[in-house]
Amino acid sequence: MKNNKYYTIALENMLRTKNSLEDISFLKEGSTDGDSFEYPIESEVLEKDNLFRKHATIITSTKGDGKIVAVSSDAEAIIMDEGDSYQEDSDTFVETKFNSFKIGSLAKIKYSFVSDNKFDIKDYLNKEFSRRFGRAEEDLCINGNGLTEPTGLLIACSTGVTTEALTYDSIVDLFFSIGKEYRNNAVWIMSDETAMELRKLKDESGTPLWNHNNDTIFGKPVLTTPYMTDSEKKVIFGDLAYYWIIIRKPLSVKVLKEKYMTTNDIGYAANERLDAKLVQDKAIKVLVVSEEE
């Protein structure tokens, strides 16, 4: 990440189309494809519009072979007598291939704003690009088809529970559909509509399923998203640390000075390259509501 003060100054000068030769030398350190330059956005900003940037595992990889190795282990430590042989573990190394999917967005700003030093151009683009790319990533991480897009969880996850309706018992079943080792840091993901249904559910003694004091179910945080729109797959539950987002090229920006001259605008073409994979199938499950015909 290019976050030293000299790069930051050079980047702002570039955004205002007034960079010097000295600025260009600093920017070349963050060049991604010749005329695009790495655009650092703080992780806290991205997390505001993307639950996966906060809870998933983020990996930066520039490897040319497009492969990562994930380790799956059920091994345990045990008590031993002196002289005992060590128990062989059950670690499994799985090689996972990944792609480099491009996400892009174009922002235009009037030149009068760009040339006005009172206008905080970097702050504006930070908010715009974090919102646009954060939401695009969240959508893809849930619904991506795995072919022309990253593999979203609704495709990657196996079914933990199939039910005819959302009930207290079906949520209990989903909770226990993954092992305790994955429940420790698990979260629930659902739409606002599903959350509204679950807020109303109670057990036989009248105890609410939903803890309204801290928005948890069975002590695990509930995350809502507008991208859970599948008519049958209603709730995702599990440890998102086993869902990996692989950054192939960080967010980069190219300034388009001439393209929009007739409208007195400056264009900012931003793009990033990434992929996403579930590396442990047992860690995350989905609840499917299949209404009886």
Whether 68 has a pLDDT exceeding 90, the answer reads: no
- Report how far residue 186's alpha carbon sits from residue 267's, in angstroms, rounded to the nearest whole number: 41
Q: What pLDDT, on the 0 to 100 scale, is given for residue 247?
A: 93
For residues 61-66, average pLDDT: 68
Longest dimension (CA), the chain: 82
Q: pTM of the entire structure? A: 0.88
Amino acid identity for residue 263 in this structure: T
- Report how far residue 47's alpha carbon sits from residue 56's, in angstroms, rounded to the nearest whole number: 11
Whether 15 has a pLDDT exceeding 60, the answer reads: yes
At how many degrees (to 10) do helices 5-15 and 121-143 cross?
Answer: 90
Residue with tokens 């189309």: 17
pLDDT band for position 21 (cuts 50, 70, 90): low
Q: Give the mean pLDDT of the chain.
A: 89
Higher-pLDDT residue of 47, 174: 174
Lowest mean pLDDT among 156-170, 218-232, 256-270: 256-270
Amino acid identity for residue 289 in this structure: V
Lowest mean pLDDT among 83-92, 122-131, 155-164, 190-199: 83-92
Q: What pLDDT, on the 0 to 100 scale, is given for residue 1?
A: 45
Q: What pLDDT, on the 0 to 100 scale, is given for residue 74?
A: 65
Close Cβ partners of 166 (under 8 Å, ≥ 6 residues apart): 194, 197, 198, 201, 234, 235, 287, 289
Q: Domain 154-240+281-289: give its CATH superfamily.
A: hypothetical protein PF0899 domain (3.30.2320.10)
